Amino acid sequence: MIKVFFGNKRIYLIDSKSDYKANKSAILEHVNSKEMLEKVFAKFMDEQLLDELYILGDKKNQVYNWFSSLFKNIAAAGGLVSNGNEEWLFIFRNGKWDLPKGKIEKNEKIEEAAIREVEEECGIAKLKIVKALNDTYHIYYLEEKLVLKKTYWFEMICKDESALVPQLEEGITDVKWLKKKDLKQVVANTYESIIDVIQAIK
Domains of the chain, residue spans: 2-68, 72-198
Consecutive H or E run containing 26: strand 26-30
Domain 72-198 superfamily per CATH: Nucleoside Triphosphate Pyrophosphohydrolase (3.90.79.10)
With contact defined as beta carbons under 8 Å apart, do 167 and 120 qualify?
Answer: yes
Pairing of strands 2-6, 136-142: parallel
| Claim: this prediction has a pTM higher than 0.85 | yes
State the average pLDDT over residues 39-63: 91
Average pLDDT of the residues in 100-124: 97
Report pLDDT for 67: 96
For residue 202, name the pLDDT band (cuts at 50, 70, 90).
low
